[in-house]
Structure 1
Amino acid sequence: MLQVKNLTITQSGDLRTLVDNLSFHLKANDKMAIIGAEGNGKSSLLNLIHNPRMTAPHLSWTGEISKGNKHSALLDQEISAELSLQKPLLLFADYVADPELYRLASELSLEIDFLFSDRELGTFSGGELLKLRLLLILMKKPDILLLDEPGNDLDLPSLQWLEKFIQSSDRPLLYISHDEKLLSNTANSIIHLEQIWRRTEARSTVSRLGFDVYRDQLYASVEKQNQMAAKEEQDHEDKMKRYQQIRNRVDHELNAISRGDPAGARLLKKKMQSVKSTGKRFEREYEARTKRTDIEVEIDFFVSDLSELPSNKEVLVFRRPQLSIGSRLLAENLELIIKGPEHIGITGPNGCGKSTMLLAILDQLKKRTDIKVYYMPQDYSAIDFP
């Protein structure tokens, strides 16, 4: 279905290797997940597989990519500016007579009215937008699905749908995800892209294992290899210490032997040759030793790393009779009071106003001078940095 052989991908700007000598075969029933830290080339790999010509200004590559007569559809992580201005009413106009449109919309928990909306796609919430985009590519009936972090911005019911969709899909899927639960419940094969040794070396690993088994075996194998490497290094160090002691002793005897004992001198010279030969053998063995390996650990952000606040410190008093976006009423009678180091999660279905509420809270907090506020948005392009 999809064959990749000896693929190496390099960034055109800094010539950094993103993917090194990757080979894999995506078969009919594969749900193959691409995992790895941010910036390791996961999206670049998907884009290259889907349309190599589009990556030409940014990437160079060697190897083979073959899809035969099959065609792929790519769900990008970010919506393009052009697509964000399109309206569902026009995008789905060619499919209004197809029952599959309404069946898939129902499975996606999409209201039918959304399909005939004259709102621009960019005005929908993150989850609504992702569902509409996914529905659009599914209606094109691709042979191979390429999904770049499809679980982003989905509410819990939609995430459950996504799991079932991946599990039951009759198309091969190649998808990127950082969601360990999604990976555990869906992936039957793994492509792991790493930048090891302080991001100086690209490593590409393909496994026909599920995510949980692969992860456990990865950590176990790295630990075992490094333990073996440490033992062999210590053994070599011990051998070299003994070797150096013997060499020093023979060298001392050579310097001390009398000129009147030429036979003894010849024997000592032969012994020194034998000692040097042993040293060279030890060096060859050391070159062939088990090498230490590295494992890439993603940077974790812990809320507990932030400075502690007194338990009676009033952090937020947020009250809103109504929360709206445009003319659309999202919520009423909101009240949120936070004191001290409380950790508050905002949950709810897509489009209910979670991000709108968070922005309203940010707007209130950033006027404060007694606390520092850190904000991590879904879309950094929407932030006006000073």
Structure 2
Amino acid sequence: MLEIRNLTIQLDRDGRYLVKNLTLSLAAGEKAVLAGEEGNGKSTLLKALLGQADWCRVTGDIRLDGPVGCLPQFPAFEGSLADLFGSLPVWDYTDVLTRLGIDYDSLFSTQSFSTLSGGEKVRYYLLSLLMQQPDILLLDEPGNDLDIDTLEWLEQFLILCPQTVLFVSHDETLIEHVHPTILHLEQLHRKSVPRLTRSSLAWQDYLAFRRQSAEHQDQVAAGQRRDHQAKMERWRRVHDAVEHRQNIASRQDPKKAAAL
């Protein structure tokens, strides 16, 4: 289970709020995706949950029940593959190795982790997380640099895994297939007001709902502008009429002009 109460994240460099007084919870086994534009604070939110957002002021209560596994956007490890998997129960994960396209013997290789390709780093690092048997997974762009076969495996893993999973993704196909809870992080009013919208809709249905809401808001705003213009026009007619009568009265009866 993951629970957040009154979480506020404020950037040190310019004082901008990425989230403000955010409260949400994810049940055991629930899958949720953090979606939104670049720069809205999705990766920083994951870091804040782990107490690693040193460039921000973070306040509020964060509760993570059980061990946590975190896949960073750019996985890094100082050492070889043998160092990464040395103390982990690799023999229990041969089926996962096959689906990830990883050779069993490679887990004991002296090859440096830093020399792997981007996709290989994601696969090996994710495998090491699974072997640590976390209850909560925080994944930052887990689909980065993966081939089609591994992406399909990732989809099935996210659907079937028993862990609570919070992941960041811009991959609409991945989001649509996994059908997680949507946590849409936005920056409104020229990036001065943060907002997080939670939805259980499928991704395409959520996008359609947002389009309809935006169209409705545009219609309401257009109606308000028309009403305002009509009121101002009525005010101008009254003003011009009173000003005309005042000009006439001021020459004949100054007191009446003052009353007008």
Aligned to 1:77: 73
CA distance in 2, matches of 1:36, 1:190: 10
Mean CA deviation greater in 160-169 or 57-66: 57-66
Query: Given the alignment of the two structures, is residue 59 of structure 1 paired with residue 71 of structure 2, yes or no?
Result: no
Query: Given the alignment of the two structures, is residue 93 of structure 1 paired with residue 86 of structure 2, yes or no?
Result: yes
The offset of 1:101, in angstroms, is 2.7
The offset of 1:249, in angstroms, is 1.2
Amino acid at match of 1:9: I
The offset of 1:35, in angstroms, is 1.0
Aligned to 2:253: 259
The offset of 1:200, in angstroms, is 4.2
Aligned to 1:105: 97
The question of whether the paired residues in 1 share the 8 Å contact of 2:88 and 2:132 is answered with no
CA distance in 2, matches of 1:189, 1:129: 27
The question of whether the paired residues in 2 share the 8 Å contact of 1:22 and 1:205 is answered with no
Q: What TM-score, normalized to structure 2?
A: 0.90
Aligned to 1:384: none
The offset of 1:232, in angstroms, is 0.9
CA distance in 2, matches of 1:87, 1:163: 28
Across the aligned residues of Structure 1 and Structure 2, the Cα RMSD in angstroms comes to 2.2
Q: What TM-score, normalized to structure 1?
A: 0.62
The question of whether the paired residues in 2 share the 8 Å contact of 1:21 and 1:204 is answered with no
Aligned residues: percent identity? 37
Aligned to 1:194: 186
Structure showing greater Rg: 1
CA distance in 2, matches of 1:40, 1:160: 28
CA distance in 2, matches of 1:116, 1:141: 20
CA distance in 2, matches of 1:153, 1:259: 86
Q: How many residues are matched?
A: 258
CA distance in 2, matches of 1:20, 1:184: 28
CA distance in 2, matches of 1:23, 1:237: 41
SS in 1 for 2:59: strand
CA distance in 1, matches of 2:30, 2:212: 25
The question of whether the paired residues in 2 share the 8 Å contact of 1:189 and 1:211 is answered with no
The offset of 1:129, in angstroms, is 1.5
Aligned to 1:7: 7
**Out of 236, 249, 256, which is 2:241 matched to?**
249
Query: Given the alignment of the two structures, is residue 124 of structure 1 paired with residue 121 of structure 2, yes or no?
Result: no
Deviations 1:278-331 (A, max 9, x none): xxxxxxxxxxxxxxxxxxxxxxxxxxxxxxxxxxxxxxxxxxxxxxxxxxxxxx
1:215-364 aligned within 5 A: 215-257=207-249, 258-259=252-253, 265=256, 269=259
- Structure 2 unpaired stretches of 5+: none
Aligned to 2:161: 169
Amino acid at match of 1:4: I
The question of whether the paired residues in 1 share the 8 Å contact of 2:88 and 2:128 is answered with no
**Out of 123, 127, 143, which is 1:151 matched to?**
143
The offset of 1:224, in angstroms, is 1.1
Query: Given the alignment of the two structures, is residue 39 of structure 1 paired with residue 31 of structure 2, yes or no?
Result: no
The question of whether the paired residues in 2 share the 8 Å contact of 1:95 and 1:101 is answered with no
Amino acid at match of 1:259: D
CA distance in 2, matches of 1:21, 1:233: 33
